[in-house]
Amino acid sequence: MLSPSCKTGQFPEQMSEVASTRVEQAIEFLKSHELRVNQRNICKIVGLNVVKLKSYPKVKAILTKSTEENQQRKVRRSSVREEDLFAAAEIVAQQLLEENQQLTQQTISEKMGMPLTTLYYYPKVISFIRQLVAEKRQQMISTRFQKREEDLVIKVMDAIQQLQQAKMPLSVSAITRIVLLDARSLMRYPRVKAILEPIARAFFREDSTD
């Protein structure tokens, strides 16, 4: 620490060099002991408050440089951390898919062992997770739609067969009564629509000729 006379502000001109040296030594001490290099810790070691230290241009320049370097280190650490988390998110997502488990932001973060709120600090990671979940949701919706469409195609074909075997008029309304779905709902499915539209046209042609 500097002498008491330094603390009271009674610094001779040469004390600027002394303060600069002490600040540099404090920074090296913090680095060597893997402690946080910030102005608060530097001031504790030197024994002067930051206002007093910054009253010396050379010391102010050292502190400014130290702060900038500290910020750069934080950015580098954050970048490395984000890449690590991104890789972890990819692995976890694949594991969930292989295990046929639900794929959501929450399940991914839980399997990573991290709170979801923490992952929001890493834009690349949370963006990947959101996109993956959205794609999976869309895939699930598409799969359900295709399965439902396949089921309805079978039901419609069965209904047509029933009507033909019973020698009853073949119409969309007759089919809907058998499958228990209205025409509008059935027409939402392209493959079903492709079956029903020709039947509807043929029915109307027959009806118009009568």
* Segment-wise mean pLDDT, segments of 10 residues, the chain, 210 residues: 46 70 84 77 83 79 76 63 86 86 91 88 90 89 91 96 93 93 92 94 67
Separation of alpha carbons 199 and 16, rounded Å? 97
For residue 108, what pLDDT is reported? 92
- 3-class DSSP state for residue 56? coil
Q: Would you state the pLDDT for residue 13?
A: 61
Using DSSP, how many helices (H) and how many strands (E) does the chain show? 11, 0
Global confidence as pTM: 0.52
At 74 the pLDDT is 65
The whole-number pLDDT of residue 158 equals 96
pLDDT for the residue 49 = 82
How many whole angstroms separate alpha carbon 204 and alpha carbon 174?
Answer: 14
In SS3 terms, 5-34 reads as: HHHCCCCCCCHHHHHHHHHHHHHHHHHHCC
